[in-house]
């Protein structure tokens, strides 16, 4: 027999009956009732009132400010109205949650009878032991002498706030009270645009413009609008039909193109977050320079060839004339642009201008073109594998394979993957290399490429990745065993010359970006290279160099899980023809490497997310039954040895995302280096969950959340880690620490406080920014401390609290120590965060605010619940900036 409220079982009915009559059961049931509707319990009733002697009101809560290590008291007065016909009995008075911070005094005489017109005082005493915010409640249980009147309850919540460093209040607290504003672009659209002088290939960036109707599709969420025409309704119905249908050869191009158009509509609005007003331009050799804060980190995207639009400040909004400007160079946050000669007619030194930003459309254009080539080239085997039971003929005879990296030979999964990629039994379908965090995916790819070059002399390899950093990593690793003259690292002309790999530049195996030599290669020149390395978007340029369709024998896409599917197919379309399984020899090798359980591409449009634009080609293929059945067969290999994290750090993500198959092979000198840190609740366990009952805040008109109490705890831990007297033998450097937060405002607040303390080399950023990275120490601050707003996260994309992939990335960056700072009651609502919370408690790695899991469902705490503010992404006739951009502010592309 089970109590459904307390989730406890009993063998005998008598025991269950006794439990149901207990005060413990009464409190658990009351918590559930408070969760559903607290208002009836906050009301004074039946001529009985409960008030606080030092505040005017105690609803929704009594607020108490106190200093650290001091005691604060509040007197709660119970008064029975003189109009009452009889006395009232206070049967019991207790805290809603047990917590040694609080105690109730003057309750020794309870139960006590309170007559008409009389009062009775209960004193709440708060012994302040830690900084932060603590919430609890007092439960007053009453009854009357009348048998006809049922007992009743009145609840009073209280909130204790303690901060020990008021000098940092200006950094941590909201500077301006938050006031919601409709998130629309701050600059009105221009009536007239004067085009700029073209620079190089800027004039080529046209094509695949968003059809006007897609703005209506986006604004009305793919539903009919009042003035829709018959033709528009047909287009709408066709689009929705394609999006709702499974991806097939018939729907593939139309569905993905529609999603790309919808995403571009949102991108064109989101980029306007960075519109600048009252900017001073400096004239410089017929060009103009100005500062763009955030340009160095992709907020906004400013790259060579981008278009910006400049207008005089305080222009008449009904007759705005903008001057198109093309970015010619970037030096840190200083941007140099070229404008039409007509701009000189209005320019006056010191004059102020407004700047409207756009983003580079080249990636989207190339994705659209790649989708068109799917039909033209008939390469559906790459997109929709229909795997037969028999493998293809091997590309070579493979007997005794000699590995360059001897460690791979000892790793069963890595050595098998290398052999599979050499043999090519998977052809004509893609081979998938599933590389969970820290399992040596890049090392495996590098070994495979070296072997291909050595054992298949006629091979030609195209290596691609979504980012330049990932492409550079592979190219640099290959240089150890491959002659520089055999490899070309092809950069886009948009890449900042300062960002080009120094190692590749020194070996002269990359193009000269400053000379824009990306356009000067001939087919015969490119044929000299055994290996070409480029980003997915830049690989499209190879089509214009007239290489034969079968030039590349191998196409390898690294970090394939982080690319949009249309982006991932760019190097496949027009650069390789379908492979006939009955053929012999090399050719037709397509290899996709990545981790589908980690974060995919950034999607700003909620509609596109709901229609799975964020699902990569790698993730879609790996979920297909044919690949599932071939797990660790010749079609796919899953790497299983983790060389990064301590076993306790890996435990939860391993169980939740990798079927508990990952094995710990990390260097114990690193993973055990933090086990003696003084702040660990349990020495030998490199985990710390610090419970903080803070308050998530916003300021000004910025809806991004921050939590001052968590900021303070995080920074204090950083100080402790960097202190030489912290119990750790190895000195911790600032670069060893990474701080992860889902909200941009929290990142900025932490950076400000760290800067004030003189620690500027500690990395602070979003989960996306840490993907692919690792640190000895990771500190995660979850920010949210209000359960109702967490439910809002689900429908408004306001964070990573209910995003399993983001959770997985955050938890798999640390090598030797992971600290999580957050509200346990809030985080326990989510199954992922509750799992790591329970694990930390089980390992005795929890500290901070007292936490006792509620037994009732839904899980509740005693926090008062402010009104849930819903902020729609579409309002009236406006297409507004997405919550993705407002809350998280993900980086924009900085290069192609």
Encoded tokens for 676: 């003696």
- What distance in Å separates the CA atoms of residue 558 and residue 488, rounded to the nearest whole number? 17
Name the band, by pLDDT with cuts 50, 70 and 90, for residue 389: low
The Cα angle at residue 311 between residues 306 and 313, in degrees rounded to 5: 135
- Nearest residue to 38 (alpha-carbon basis) of 87, 118, 96: 96
Answer yes or no: same fold for 363-639 and 647-855+876-894: yes
pLDDT over 60 (residue 313): yes
pLDDT given at position 245: 95
Q: Which residues does residue 90 pair with via DSSP β-bridges, in sequence order? A: 112, 142
pLDDT over 70 (residue 777): yes
Say which range, 123-137, 275-289, 359-373, has the weakest mean pLDDT: 123-137
pLDDT given at position 478: 94
Encoded tokens for 233: 């309704």
pLDDT over 50 (residue 495): yes
The CA–CA distances, whole Å, from 612 to 248, 374, 566 equal 14, 20, 12
| Strand pairing report for 531-535 and 636-638 | unpaired
pLDDT over 50 (residue 164): yes
If DSSP codes are grouped into helix, strand and coil, which group holds residue 493? coil
Name the band, by pLDDT with cuts 50, 70 and 90, for residue 779: very high
Question: Mind listing the pLDDT tens digit for each residue in 231-262?
Answer: 999 999 999 999 999 999 999 999 999 999 99
The number of angstroms, rounded, from the C-alpha of 649 to the middle of its chain's C-alpha atoms is: 20
Q: Which residues does residue 817 pair with via DSSP β-bridges, in sequence order? A: 777
pLDDT over 50 (residue 873): no
- What distance in Å separates the CA atoms of residue 804 and residue 808, rounded to the nearest whole number? 6
Question: Mind listing the pLDDT tens digit for each residue in 463-491?
Answer: 999 999 999 999 999 998 889 999 999 99
Name the band, by pLDDT with cuts 50, 70 and 90, for residue 862: very low
Q: What is the mean pLDDT of residues 439-462?
A: 95
Q: Which of the following CATH numbers is that of domain 47-162: 1.10.10.10, 1.10.150.120, 2.102.10.10, 2.60.40.10? A: 2.60.40.10
Q: How many residues does the chain have?
A: 896
The more confidently predicted of residues 163 and 723 is 723
- What distance in Å separates the CA atoms of residue 380 and residue 371, rounded to the nearest whole number? 11
Q: What is the mean pLDDT of residues 820-845?
A: 92
Tokens 């559906």 label which residue?
Answer: 380
Q: What percent of the chain has pLDDT over 90?
A: 52
The more confidently predicted of residues 800 and 642 is 642
User: Is the separation of the CB atoms in 442 and 473 below 8 Å?
Assistant: yes
DSSP H helical segments within 482-629, as ranges? 502-506, 523-526, 565-568, 606-610, 617-622, 625-629
The answer to whether the Cα torsion of 57, 61, 65, 68 is positive or negative is positive
The Cα angle at residue 571 between residues 565 and 577, in degrees rounded to 5: 110
Question: Mind listing the pLDDT tens digit for each residue in 611-640?
Answer: 999 999 999 999 998 888 766 688 999 999
Q: Residue 213: CB partners within 8 Å, gap ≥ 6?
A: 232, 235, 236
Question: Mind listing the pLDDT tens digit for each residue in 549-571?
Answer: 888 999 999 999 999 999 999 99
pLDDT averaged over every residue in the chain: 86
User: Is the separation of the CB atoms in 586 and 458 below 8 Å?
Assistant: yes
pLDDT given at position 198: 64
pLDDT given at position 632: 64
Q: What is the mean pLDDT of residues 750-774?
A: 92
Q: What is the DSSP string of 594-657?
A: E-TTS-------HHHHHTTTTS-HHHHHHTSHHHHHTTTSSSEEE--EE-SS-HHHHHHHHHHH
The more confidently predicted of residues 388 and 810 is 810
User: Is the separation of the CB atoms in 157 and 864 below 8 Å?
Assistant: yes
Q: What is the mean pLDDT of residues 295-317?
A: 85
Q: What homologous superfamily is domain 363-639 in, according to CATH? A: P-loop containing nucleotide triphosphate hydrolases (3.40.50.300)
- What distance in Å separates the CA atoms of residue 706 and residue 494, rounded to the nearest whole number? 35
The CA–CA distances, whole Å, from 125 to 66, 119, 160 equal 11, 19, 11
pLDDT given at position 796: 37
- Domain ranges for the chain, please list them: 1-36, 47-162, 363-639, 647-855+876-894
Q: What is the mean pLDDT of residues 733-748?
A: 94
Question: Rounded to two decimals, what is the model's pTM?
Answer: 0.85
- What distance in Å separates the CA atoms of residue 171 and residue 704, rounded to the nearest whole number? 16
Most confidently predicted of 192-196, 262-266, 521-525: 262-266
Q: Which helix (H) or strand (E) holds 514?
A: none
What's the CATH architecture for 647-855+876-894?
Answer: 3-Layer(aba) Sandwich (3.40)
pLDDT given at position 270: 92
User: Exposed/middle/buried for 340, CB within 10 Å: 0-12, 13-18, 19+?
Assistant: middle
- Nearest residue to 414 (alpha-carbon basis) of 453, 454, 442: 442
Say which range, 171-180, 284-293, 360-369, 662-671, has the weakest mean pLDDT: 171-180
pLDDT given at position 516: 59
- What distance in Å separates the CA atoms of residue 70 and residue 126, rounded to the nearest whole number? 8
- b/e burial code for range 859-868 (CB count within 10 A of at least 16 → b): bbbbbbeeee
Question: Mind listing the pLDDT tens digit for each residue in 790-829?
Answer: 444 433 333 456 789 999 999 999 999 999 999 998 888 8
Query: What's 709's DSSP letter?
Result: H
Q: What is the mean pLDDT of residues 660-675?
A: 97
pLDDT given at position 613: 96
């Amino acid at each position: 027999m089970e109590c459904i409220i307390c989730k406890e079982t009993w063998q005998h009915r008598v025991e269950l009956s006794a439990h149901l009559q207990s005060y413990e059961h009464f409190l658990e049931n009351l918590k559930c009732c408070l969760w559903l509707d607290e208002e009836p319990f906050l009301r004074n009733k039946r001529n009985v009132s409960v008030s606080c002697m030092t505040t005017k009101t105690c609803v929704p809560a009594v607020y108490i400010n106190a200093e650290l290590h001091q005691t604060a008291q509040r007197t709660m007065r119970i008064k029975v109205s003189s109009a009452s016909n009889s006395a009232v009995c206070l049967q019991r008075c207790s805290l809603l949650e047990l917590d040694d911070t609080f105690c109730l005094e003057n309750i020794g005489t309870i139960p006590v009878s309170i007559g008409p017109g009389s009062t009775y005082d209960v004193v709440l005493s708060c012994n302040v032991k830690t900084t932060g915010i603590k919430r609890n409640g007092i439960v007053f249980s009453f009854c009357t002498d009348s048998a006809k009147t049922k007992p009743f309850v009145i609840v009073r919540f209280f909130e204790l706030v303690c901060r020990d460093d008021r000098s940092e209040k200006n950094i941590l607290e909201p500077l301006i009270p938050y006031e919601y504003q409709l998130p629309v672009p701050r600059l009105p659209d221009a009536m007239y645009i004067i085009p700029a002088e073209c620079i190089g290939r800027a004039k080529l960036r046209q094509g695949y413009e968003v059809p006007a109707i897609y703005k209506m599709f986006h604004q009305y969420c793919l539903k009919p609008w009042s003035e829709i025409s018959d033709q528009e309704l047909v287009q709408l119905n066709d689009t929705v039909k394609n999006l709702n249908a499974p991806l097939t050869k018939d729907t593939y191009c139309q569905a993905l193109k529609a999603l790309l158009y919808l995403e571009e509509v949102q991108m064109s609005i989101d980029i306007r977050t960075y519109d600048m007003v009252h900017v001073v331009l400096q004239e410089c050799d017929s060009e103009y320079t100005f500062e763009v804060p955030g340009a160095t980190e992709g907020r906004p995207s400013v790259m060579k060839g981008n278009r910006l639009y400049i207008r005089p400040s305080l222009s008449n909004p009904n007759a705005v004339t903008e001057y198109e400007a093309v970015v010619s160079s970037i030096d840190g946050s200083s941007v140099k642009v070229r404008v039409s000669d007509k701009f000189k007619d209005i320019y006056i030194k010191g004059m102020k201008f407004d700047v409207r930003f756009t983003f580079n459309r080249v990636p989207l254009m190339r994705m659209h073109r790649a989708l068109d080539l799917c039909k033209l080239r008939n390469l559906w085997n790459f997109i929709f594998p229909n795997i037969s039971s028999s493998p293809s003929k091997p590309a070579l005879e493979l007997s005794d394979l000699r590995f360059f990296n001897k460690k791979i030979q000892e790793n069963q999964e890595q050595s098998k993957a290398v052999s599979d990629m050499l043999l090519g039994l998977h052809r004509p379908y893609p081979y998938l290399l599933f590389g969970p965090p820290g399992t040596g995916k890049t090392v495996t790819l590098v070994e495979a490429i070296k072997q291909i070059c050595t054992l298949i002399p006629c091979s030609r390899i195209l290596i691609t990745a979504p980012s330049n950093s990932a492409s550079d990593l592979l190219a640099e690793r290959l240089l150890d065993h491959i002659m520089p003259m055999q490899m070309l690292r092809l950069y886009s002309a948009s890449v900042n010359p300062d960002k080009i790999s120094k190692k590749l530049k020194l070996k002269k195996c990359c193009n000269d970006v400053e000379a824009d030599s990306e356009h000067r290669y001939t087919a015969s020149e490119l044929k000299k290279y055994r290996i070409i390395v480029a980003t997915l978007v830049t690989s499209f340029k190879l089509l214009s160099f007239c290489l034969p369709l079968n030039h590349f024998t191998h196409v390898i896409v690294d970090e394939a899980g982080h690319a949009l599917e249309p982006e991932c197919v760019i190097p496949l379309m027009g650069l390789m023809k379908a492979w006939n399984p009955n053929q012999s020899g090399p050719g037709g090798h397509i290899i996709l490497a990545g981790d589908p359980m980690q974060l995919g591409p950034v999607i700003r449009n909620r509609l596109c997310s709901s229609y799975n634009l964020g699902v990569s080609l790698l993730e879609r293929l790996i979920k297909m039954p044919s690949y599932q059945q071939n797990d660790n067969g010749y079609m796919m290999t899953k790497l299983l040895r983790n060389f990064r994290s301590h076993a306790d750090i890996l435990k939860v993500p391993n169980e939740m995302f990798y079927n508990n198959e990952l094995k710990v092979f990390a260097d114990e000198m690193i993973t055990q280096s933090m086990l003696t840190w003084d702040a660990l609740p349990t020495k030998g366990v490199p985990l710390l969950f610090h419970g903080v009952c803070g308050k998530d805040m916003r300021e000004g008109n910025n809806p991004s959340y921050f939590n001052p109490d968590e900021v303070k705890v995080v920074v204090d831990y950083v100080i402790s880690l960097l202190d030489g007297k912290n119990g750790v033998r190895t000195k911790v450097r600032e670069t060893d620490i990474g701080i992860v937060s889902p909200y941009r405002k929290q990142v900025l607040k932490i950076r400000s406080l760290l800067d004030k303390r003189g620690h500027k080399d500690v990395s602070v950023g979003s989960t996306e920014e840490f993907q692919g990275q690792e640190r000895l120490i990771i500190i995660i601050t979850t920010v949210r401390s209000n359960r109702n707003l967490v439910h809002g996260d689900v429908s408004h994309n306001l964070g990573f609290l209910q995003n399993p992939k983001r959770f997985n990335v955050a938890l798999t960056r640390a090598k030797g120590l992971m600290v999580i700072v957050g509200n346990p009651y809030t985080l326990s609502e989510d199954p992922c965060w509750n799992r790591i919370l329970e694990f930390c408690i089980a390992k005795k790695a929890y500290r901070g605010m007292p936490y006792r899991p509620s037994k009732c469902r839904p899980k509740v705490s005693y926090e008062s619940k402010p009104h849930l503010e819903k902020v729609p992404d579409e309002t009236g006739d406006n297409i507004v900036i997405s919550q993705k951009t407002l809350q998280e502010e993900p980086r924009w592309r900085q290069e192609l």
